[in-house]
Amino acid sequence: MTAPAIRIEGLRYAYPDGQVALDGVDLTIAPGERVALLGPNGAGKTTLMLHLNGVLTATAGAVEISGTPLTRKTIRDIRRRVGLVFQDPDDQLFMPTVAQDVAFGPANFGVTGAELASRVHAALETVSMTEHADRSPAHLSGGQRRRAALATVLACEPEILVLDEPSANLDPVARRELAETLATLSATMLIVTHDLPYAAQLCDRAIVIDRGVVVADDAISAVLSDAELLAAHRLELPWGFVVPAR
């Protein structure tokens, strides 16, 4: 049996001021799975995401990526294998042009020359941004910026893609286009979101966390049909939305 893409055991994290953000999280995600990470504001979703590539270091517990435990020695390799797409594209895009921004990640991991150029080209093509390669991120629309931010991570060729609120602040068309792009990717995917229909569209499984612990972990249709569970954790389906049968 192959090692799980993500394995988290007893993960605890307290902020420097003592506030506990994660209070013993256990979860396992198999390679190729697309999982939604749901939960109300302040549940610890983003904190959990920042542990997956060692940007935050756990107070207790262990994180394993494809069988490799996250330690000081493996952190570089794990950052290459786990790609984080942040909620605000302005946090992710900082170079003068989109192409340079996309090249930043792979260049840090030692990719150079023709290989770097082809990585940049492929990543931009995947998100349909090739024509905007030499524009400044400041001149892009919200949807284009989001796709550019995704490309900066795809260029690192991660095995696991973690997206924080990918549909936030997008107009309906940009939201759909991003979903179509994401659906073509084969990487294991963890989507942190409040947008339940988006989760239903893209994911097969949902994990609900609240107050730093996992409170539900099941097929997405089962989680979204459980009105009591959703209500207990400040989640609800938008008006008129019916969970489609799978």
Partner 1 sequence: MGAGHSHPLYRDGDSPLHRVPAEVKIVALLAFVLAVVATPREMFWPFAIYAGIVLVVWQVARIPLRWILPRMLIEAPFLVLAVLLPFAEGGERVAVAGLHLSVSGLWAAWGIVIKGTLGVAASLTVAATTSARQLPLALSRLGVPGLVTSMLVLMIRYIDVLSAEVSRMRMARISRGDSPRGLHQAGAIAKGVGALFLRSYERGERVYLAMLSRGFDGRVPELADVGAGPRASAAQWVTTLAPAGVAVFAAASAWVLQ
Which stretches of the chain bind partner 1, using CB under 8 A? 50, 53, 55, 76, 79-80, 83-84, 86, 88, 90-97, 99-100, 103-105, 107-109, 116-117, 120, 133-134, 136-142, 152-153, 156
Residue 10: CB minimum distance to partner 1, A: 24
Which C-beta is closer to partner 1: that of 107 or that of 179?
Answer: 107
Which C-beta is closer to partner 1: that of 19 or that of 141?
Answer: 141
Which C-beta is closer to partner 1: that of 48 or that of 153?
Answer: 153
Which C-beta is closer to partner 1: that of 45 or that of 80?
Answer: 80
Question: Could you give the CA distance from residue 83 to residue 69 in angstroms, rounded to a whole number?
Answer: 17
Which C-beta is closer to partner 1: that of 116 or that of 237?
Answer: 116
- Whether 10 and 24 have beta carbons less than 8 Å apart is answered as yes
Question: Could you give the CA distance from residue 144 to residue 139 in angstroms, rounded to a whole number?
Answer: 10
> Three-class SS string for 183-222?
HCCCCEEEEECCCHHHHHHHCCEEEEEECCEEEEEEEHHH
Q: From 2, 75, 62, 77, select the one nearest 32 (Cα to Cα).
A: 2
Question: Could you give the CA distance from residue 221 to residue 224 in angstroms, rounded to a whole number?
Answer: 5
Residue 126: CB minimum distance to partner 1, A: 17
Question: Could you give the CA distance from residue 129 to residue 152 in angstroms, rounded to a whole number?
Answer: 11
Residue 160: CB minimum distance to partner 1, A: 12
Residue 88: CB minimum distance to partner 1, A: 7
Burial bucket for residue 35 (CB in 10 Å: 0-12, 13-18, 19+): buried
Which C-beta is closer to partner 1: that of 99 or that of 200?
Answer: 99
Residue 118: CB minimum distance to partner 1, A: 12
Which C-beta is closer to partner 1: that of 90 or that of 125?
Answer: 90
Residue 192: CB minimum distance to partner 1, A: 14
Q: From 102, 15, 87, 77, select the one nearest 49 (Cα to Cα).
A: 87
Alpha-carbon radius of gyration of the chain: 18
Residue 182: CB minimum distance to partner 1, A: 18
> Three-class SS string for 20-58?
EEEEEEEEEECCCCEEEEECCCCCCHHHHHHHCCCCCCC
